[in-house]
């Protein structure tokens, strides 16, 4: 396939499902207001990633055809950044931040991913690591966008609904570092799989 959908879904799940600025915001919002009141915020967070995917997708696919060496360099740079984020996840502890007095709405959620370095890094890694050179920008971008939206529609509400409960149950216990290192390991393995073998886009 022009896009390695199966491998990308594994990679995407390791990114969308692990702690980061967006998921910490979702967890804190769900803990404070509950899923029903947080739904506009959840929808905004999910759709906000599309504001990053489409411009990046069309720009990177054009770059791949005109400057393949730059495209290859971006692949390694984005992979290195994702691995660095995984290290931060491994050492992170689940402590929800303070919530606002009023539930944040759709607009507040919409800007989360455009301001989130993790989102930019994972989207760049998706295009550089899972899309075959020569793939049309429309096909690549639509596929990446659909995969990530599907993952977000499943995982973002779960963070909102159950994230706070998970944080309370494992915080300051022996299970907490094990959980965080496991999440980080999944991320690293998925990146190494793309860089050194596995499914070829």
Confidence class of residue 98 from pLDDT cuts 50, 70 and 90? very low
> Where exactly are the structural domains of the chain?
5-194
Give the span between the Cα atoms of 158 and 138, in whole angstroms: 30
pLDDT of residue 118: 78
How many CB atoms sit inside 10 A of residue 155's CB? Answer: 19
Q: Which residue has the higher pLDDT, 174 or 31?
A: 174
Residue 101 and residue 34 in contact, taking contact as beta carbons nearer than 8 Å: no
- Please give the pLDDT value at position 197: 59
In the chain, % of residues over pLDDT 70: 82
Mean pLDDT value of segment 120-144: 89
Q: How confident is the model at residue 153 (pLDDT cuts 50, 70, 90)?
A: very high
Phi/psi class of residue 197: alpha, beta or left (left: φ > 0; alpha: ψ in -120 to 50)?
Answer: left
38: CB partners within 8 A, 6+ apart:
26, 29, 30, 103, 104, 160
């Amino acid at each position: 396939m022009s896009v390695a959908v199966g491998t990308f879904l594994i990679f995407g799940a390791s990114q969308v499902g692990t702690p980061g600025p967006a998921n910490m915001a979702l967890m804190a919002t769900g803990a404070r207001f509950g899923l029903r009141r947080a739904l506009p915020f959840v929808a905004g967070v999910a759709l906000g990633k599309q504001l990053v995917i489409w411009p990046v997708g069309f720009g990177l696919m054009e770059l791949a055809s005109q400057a393949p060496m730059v495209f290859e360099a971006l692949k390694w740079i984005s992979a290195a950044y994702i691995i660095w984020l995984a290290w931060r996840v491994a050492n992170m502890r689940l402590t929800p931040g303070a919530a606002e007095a009023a539930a944040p709405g759709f607009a507040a959620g919409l800007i989360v991913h455009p301001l989130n370095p993790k989102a930019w890094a994972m989207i760049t890694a998706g295009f550089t690591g899972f899309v075959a050179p020569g793939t049309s920008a429309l096909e690549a971008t639509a596929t990446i966008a659909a995969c990530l939206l599907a993952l977000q529609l499943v995982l973002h509400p779960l963070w909102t609904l159950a994230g706070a409960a998970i944080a309370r149950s494992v915080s300051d216990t022996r299970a907490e570092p094990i959980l965080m290192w496991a999440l980080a390991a999944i991320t690293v393995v998925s990146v190494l799989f793309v860089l050194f073998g596995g499914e070829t886009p």
